[in-house]
Chain A
Amino acid sequence: MTHFSESPIIVVVGRLIAPFIQLFGLYVIFHGHYGPGGGFQGGAMLAASFLLIRLCVGEEASQMHFKRSLGAPVGILGAAVFFGIGLVTMGAGGYFLDYSLLPFEDVSASKLRFFGILVVEIGIGIAVAATLVAIFDELMGGADNG
């Protein structure tokens, strides 16, 4: 038990609903085909849940949730997924992000397109979430101590 000055209402409810917001963000990423949404919006919702935890329990305790130092590397990883798939399709002789040219032999073009878009959306989502959290951390600059 750590000594803590924040109101229990905010801490308890914030930690209670943060997982649900994360799941909602993942849902938006995975269902970009059917409705509004996709990588960017889902990533923003994911970032919102991380920021909620940071606001509720303070900078120090939220390191257990999403580390400050993870922001930039995970953002780069997400961008790398996006560009990796794009460059692979270019290497196979097509345009950037021409999903039907992904190098899997026995999969139909429409399936390739579906999963290609999905993986790219996930990459964008991770990149957006991590970058937004990194921007928030950079803006707070360690000035906030809970």
Chain B
Amino acid sequence: MGMSDMIAVLMILGGAFFLLVASIGIVRFPDFYTRLHAMGKGDTLGIILILLGLCVYEGFTLNSAKLLIALVFVGLTNPVATHALARAALRYGLKPLLKLDQEEKKPSTTSKSDALET
């Protein structure tokens, strides 16, 4: 196993770690808007790291150029998808659970978000 393979494996492992953290974050965070953070950052970095690691392992070929295209596409569209979801939820009237609401220890489920539960 050469040096570049080691770097590739390290990057892929790091990417897998961030994907794992993002997944746990999506489950563990208390409300929708905080879960967006896990999707917008953790997922993006995880995918970028794994694809870059594959690029390093593959070397300087056409396939790694294709991987770079996929990387740029994901890096461009993942924040946009996050923003679109956030905006849709805000327009729908979903209220975020903020600091003072947390201190009051009240669930911030308004009638609107109750109606959303299916």
In the complex they form, whether A and B have CB atoms below 8 Å apart is answered with: yes
Q: Please count how many residues in chain B sit with their CB below 8 Å of the partner chain's CB atoms.
A: 7
Provide the main secondary structure of the chain A interface. Answer: helix
Judge whether A108 is part of the interface by a CB distance below 8 angstroms.
Answer: no
- Closest Cβ of chain B to A138, distance in Å, is 24
Judge whether A9 is part of the interface by a CB distance below 8 angstroms.
Answer: yes
Chain B 46-88, CB within 8 Å of chain A: the 1/0 string? 0000000000000000000000000001001100100110010
A55 vs B84: C-alpha distance when bound (angstroms): 11
Q: Are B87 and A13 closer than 8 Å at their CB atoms?
A: no
Q: Are B83 and A17 closer than 8 Å at their CB atoms?
A: no
* A contact residues around B84 at 8 Å (CB): 7, 9-10
Q: Are A7 and B77 closer than 8 Å at their CB atoms?
A: no
* A contact residues around B80 at 8 Å (CB): 9-10, 13
* B contact residues around A9 at 8 Å (CB): 80, 83-84
Instruction: Tell me the chain B residues, 70-118 only, with Cβ under 8 Å from chain A.
Output: 73, 76-77, 80, 83-84, 87
* B contact residues around A7 at 8 Å (CB): 83-84, 87
- For A13, the closest partner residue in chain B by CB is B80
- For A7, the closest partner residue in chain B by CB is B87
* A contact residues around B77 at 8 Å (CB): 13, 17
Q: Which of B73, B84, B87 is packed against the most chain A CB atoms within 10 Å?
A: B84
Q: Are B73 and A10 closer than 8 Å at their CB atoms?
A: no
- Closest Cβ of chain A to B44, distance in Å, is 14
* A contact residues around B76 at 8 Å (CB): 13, 17
Q: Known pairs A10-B80, A13-B76, A13-B80. 13 more at Cβ < 8 A? A: A7-B83, A7-B84, A7-B87, A9-B80, A9-B83, A9-B84, A10-B83, A10-B84, A10-B87, A13-B77, A17-B73, A17-B76, A17-B77
Instruction: List chain B positions with a Cβ less than 8 A from chain A.
Output: 73, 76-77, 80, 83-84, 87
Task: Pull 16 A–B residue pairs with CB atoms less than 8 Å apart, ordered by A.
Answer: A7-B83, A7-B84, A7-B87, A9-B80, A9-B83, A9-B84, A10-B80, A10-B83, A10-B84, A10-B87, A13-B76, A13-B77, A13-B80, A17-B73, A17-B76, A17-B77
